[in-house]
Structure 1
Amino acid sequence: ELATHVAERSTQAAVADEPATGVLSVLQGEADLPSAAATFPFGAHVAVVEIDPETGKVDYLRHVACDDAGRILNPTLVDGQVHGGIAQGAAQVLFEQMVYDEAGNPLTVTLGDYLMPSAAELPSFERVESQTETPINPLGAKGIGESGTIGATPALQSAVVDALAYLGVRHLDLPITPERIWRALEAAALGPAG
């Protein structure tokens, strides 16, 4: 109700300030919506990967995300937040790494040394919509800002480890580089004595 009231008043004020043409150039509204407590969004992410056993390269094939943000006021903004978060989570799992020498000096000193994914390394993300309104605030909205990152990181790491589980692999440190996968494959081939 409060959001509707603010929108109606903003529209009336904008029309009153415009010339007789009735054309609106800017529509703006502002309100403080106090919250009695924190809101807690929830979600689930699933990632699908294939691994080349010869090179350790990960092909990131599919990512499905369901993040609940309560009432969604701007679906395009929510899509962008979740997609950006998934890309950040994928970067943490597969690419981003600071490397140091034996004396503790950084060897990763430029963005040329610091791998970041482009759209070519990422699948088209799928977002399953969920809207469970919260009674905590008048809009029924929850946060969505970090949901993609929080869900994507363990989903993608788990997908890679799961793809190697038949060999006895139970964990790989981040970032999961092709070299780390290749070493895990080699260790698995040597068996427990290797």
Structure 2
Amino acid sequence: MTPVLYSFRRCPYAMRARLAVQAAQTPVHLREIVLRDKPAAFLAASASGTVPCLVLHDAMPDTTIDESLDIMIWALTISDPDGLMNMPASGWDLIAHCDGPFKHALDRTKYATRYPDSDPVQHRNNAIAFLHDLDARIGTHIFDRPSIADLAIAPFVRQFAFIDKPWFDAQPIPQVQAWLAAFLASDKFARIMTKYPPWAEGDTPTPFPPAGEF
């Protein structure tokens, strides 16, 4: 049976899972979730109740992958036509920093009212410090060719940039700005941002990537 990917279009974690599944050309059935009205089937599958969540169907009892980076690795381990997994070890360190300190600072900048004891300006400064480091590493891509790090980090840089886009555009990080602009203008990004209606029990499966896309 085809694996099922529960997703939410605007979630950066779900974005990077879709990017990897698309890059791997590994078919799944996409189920778009409304986070304020989560279907029972999704809650039964996801221990965390968060997207993305991949439900695998094979000869073994059903299993789930509930972390976005693990879904990316699952897809690209099956098929990696662009060699995205071939990157320096430092790429995994960058992803870990993105998922840890950068995301911590991003949340406390974007959702400052949720963290009344935190200083959003200091957290914005912490986030931009990571992007200064990233800026020193990249040209068109984080390394000399596209990698899983591009796919894993770009959705979160996008989220940070659009907190205050004029401020972001004024920062001295030209390589990151060009890299993000190329990502946002790419057909690959446009395809994973296709709008699908919310999934309901009994709906016809939504193939992803769409048939004939590659």
Alignment TM-score, normalising by the size of structure 2:
0.22
More helix by share: 2
Which structure: larger Rg?
A: 1
Alignment TM-score, normalising by the size of structure 1:
0.23
